[in-house]
Chain A
Amino acid sequence: MSEIISKAGLRELAKEWIAQGKAVAGPVQTKPGLVMYAKLASADEIVWKGFVRPANSVKEFVFPRHELLCTYKMEGNRVELANDEAEIPAQILLAVRPCDAAAFPILDHVFNWDCRDELYNRRRGATTVIALACESHDESCFCTSVGLSPQAERGSDVMLFDLGEEYEVRCLTDKGRALFAGKTQPSERTAPTCMGPDPRFNPEQVKQFVDGQFTSPYWQEATLACLGCGACAYNCPTCHCFDIVDEGNSQHGERVRNWDSCQFAQFTLHASGHNPRPDQGSRQRQRVLHKFSIYPEKFGEILCTGCGNCTRNCPEGQGMLTLLTGIEHA
């Protein structure tokens, strides 16, 4: 037995959510050949099919690229600080890829580890994740190499499976059940299992290599094509580094949190001018080290969901997969 909803029914439901004042986001055809997650003005904007995955990641809706932390006002010796107390509306992330949804529990660790990040948790708490199981993959996808799959339920409140005219609906949490209560019909049909990409590497082997081969020439060799932009990190569902900056003048301004990337030279530049990671080799090594060794040692899982966005977005066709599959031959 399963629960289903017709495709038209789900569209109507999404319209209802928007009408209720909920922020709904999903994959949108940004321009020909480019699908990106974006906030929906209307439920008709969403594209359900015909692409492997959006070019950006859905983390932006919980961990925005630019976030106000507080504002300040200075007058003489008086400094006034004010937190941003703006209400966060309930938001629904619709037709999210399982590799995006799986990133949320991974990010939860980081933002609740030594201190509870209020802003992150506020947004996370207001968010319901409705994932749509993948039906296709491309040569950049590698979810099966990091323990996930096209139907992975991790991080989702609801999973949808395409049945042609309907979606099979599997509610996984109370949050999800609340959204779909009374909206689905029982059915005999369930979705067939979709095979993901063949595993491309062994994460254990990667960990052994990064732990043992810190000084290997491989890092320099394999990263010569890297130009040092942040396209991989900024479109990665799990990368979460940020920079805190003050923007304003001597009378008033804002303290904000912006995304940052370990691939920028500035990321580790000391005030003295010394840079402990002086080239792309050491910066790329850091990225692999963080994802496959440092984070797993701390939280027991890999900081990568195998979405392949790093490769798809790299102007020079590089990315995690290039680096990780090369380790075997290093």
Chain B
Amino acid sequence: MSEASQFEPKIVAYVCNWCTYLGADLAGTTRLEYPANVRIIRLPCTGRIDFNLLIKAFEIGADAVLVSGCHPGDCHYTAGNYHARRRWILFRELLDTLGFDLRRIHFTWISAAEGRKWQEAVTRITEETRKLGPYRELYQKNGFQRPNAPPPPKPPAPAKTNAAAQEQQLRETCARLLSEGTVQVVIGYGVGGPVFVRRAEDAAKLVWDAGCQANLTTYLKRKEIKRLGKAAVVVKGCDERGLVILEKESQIDRQTLRVIGMACDGMGQPKCDTCTVHQPRFADEIIGQAADTPPEATHAGALDALMQLSPAERMSFWAHEYERCVKCYACRQVCPLCYCERCIADKNRPVTIDTSATPEGNFAWHITRAFHLAGRCVGCGECTRACPAGIPLGLLNLSLARAAEKHFGYQAGMDPKAEPLIGTYALTDKEEFIR
């Protein structure tokens, strides 16, 4: 017997309690035969299926995964499947960027009356997976390390802003806000790191130069800073986008927070090549005027180079990169939008994400981090800048941002009126991948 005929694929099916599970049940009671390769896991609703479960199934040896629930409009909880659909659209793109084999991940809508459809789906998926063979590429390095280097960025346009004049105006503004008592602390850039200015006479500690790379809005979540009282924060155009999200998610109160926006012609970071918001838009005080022609809105070449590779090569690329991850969580801590008091990575009863810095633990963490930022990440690039191991973490976020734009015309943090991407849904969300 050849290996192909011996191979019996293992398929894990996450199904909703109300439709697909009953559909599978109906298939059984009506004596419809289907391959015994499928292991059914019943969950309340497709909207309740954590994406980590998909990954977990592959880790413990599944060759394919099926997610199935009620047809649109049939959800027992009204809209769970609509929420699921929107999330899967983005999650598939993330898995694609990571190099997962999308031919092994299936989505269907199967109602309680569709025993025959269940039979057909399981038969089809089993046959397809049998042809694909065992899933051996998961988290594997096949020697491939790095995609072709993207073309070097164009030299920056001559700066139009006058940094020295901006710095002077920044200090004056902060001294005024502090002496008026409008705020108790100004979170700004100092020499060699952030400073927290609390007296008007210390305003001279604030600087504005090429070293002002950090996104200071991340300090707004910290209780050590909240204790200091009403705050003003110094932001660039890119950082300011994060404030739009934070306000939408009720994390900041724009009535009390003062925002000092600095016009910026780029800080020489990779993200600056594609930045379109050199001029702050919503800040209470805007200092300086950036060059008025935004750069060509081309996306970073590194992601394009990565996406030209085969899925197995992409996975190999990430496996090499994540090999250096020691789980210091600098990426999480610098992110202004990672504000959970207790991160899912720290939950240990039960453990959702292995704390070990192994391929499993590292992939699980980076997938989770990226996906929790889907439709939220504003591309400030702090994760990449902070990583001591030089892992291009922002690439995953960029791929999700690109997916959000492609599928939903959504750009996080650009429009203060836009509803959050995740947490809402539209009846028109595309579902060509759901069979």
Residue positions of A touching B, CB distance < 8 A: 30-31, 33-34, 36, 55-56, 65-66, 220, 223-225, 227-231, 233-235, 243, 245, 247, 256, 258-259, 261, 264-266, 279-281, 313, 315-318, 322
Contact = CB atoms under 8 A, between A and B. Distances in A.
Nearest to A261: B328
A280 B195 CA distance: 16
B351 interface: yes
Nearest to A55: B388
7 contacts: A30-B390, A224-B196, A227-B333, A235-B388, A245-B355, A264-B346, A315-B214
Which 7 A/B pairs are nearest by Cβ-Cβ distance? A315-B386, A317-B193, A230-B328, A229-B333, A229-B330, A227-B333, A313-B388
B314 interface: no
Nearest to B356: A66
Contacts of A264: 329, 346
Nearest to A315: B386
Interface stretch (B124-132, B219-227, B272-280, B281-289): B219-227
B214 A316 contact: yes
Nearest to A226: B224
Given A66-B357, A224-B194, A315-B386, 6 more contacts: A34-B390, A230-B326, A261-B328, A265-B346, A281-B224, A315-B330
Contacts of A317: 192-193
Contacts of B195: 225
A231 B224 contact: no
Given A245-B356, A258-B355, A315-B386, A234 B225 contact: no
Of listed B193, B328, B332, B348, residue having the most chain A CB within 10 A: B328
Interface string B172-207: 000000000000000000001111100000000000
A54 B338 CA distance: 29
A36 B224 contact: no
A55 B330 CA distance: 14
Contacts of A316: 193-194, 214, 334
B385 A234 contact: no
Contacts, number: 110
A55 B326 CA distance: 12
A256 B356 contact: yes
B356 A55 contact: no
Interface residues of B, number: 38
A266 B324 CA distance: 23
B140 interface: no
Interface string B329-365: 1101110000000000010100100111110010000
B382 interface: yes
B328 A266 contact: no
Contacts of B357: 65-66, 258-259
A44 to B, nearest CB: 16
A221 B235 CA distance: 22
B218 interface: yes
A220 B355 contact: no
B369 to A, nearest CB: 13
A36 B333 contact: no
Contacts of B389: 30, 34, 36, 55-56
A281 B225 CA distance: 12
A266 B346 contact: yes
A141 B324 CA distance: 24
A4 to B, nearest CB: 35
Contacts of A225: 193-196, 219
Chain A CB within 10 Å — which of B146, B222, B351, B388 has the most?
A: B388
A247 B330 contact: no
B356 A258 contact: yes
Contacts of A229: 328-330, 332-334, 386
Residue from A56, A66, A220, A279 having most chain B Cβ neighbours under 10 A: A66
A229 B389 CA distance: 14
A56 B196 contact: no
Interface in B355-396: 355-358, 361, 382, 385-386, 388-390
B191 to A, nearest CB: 9
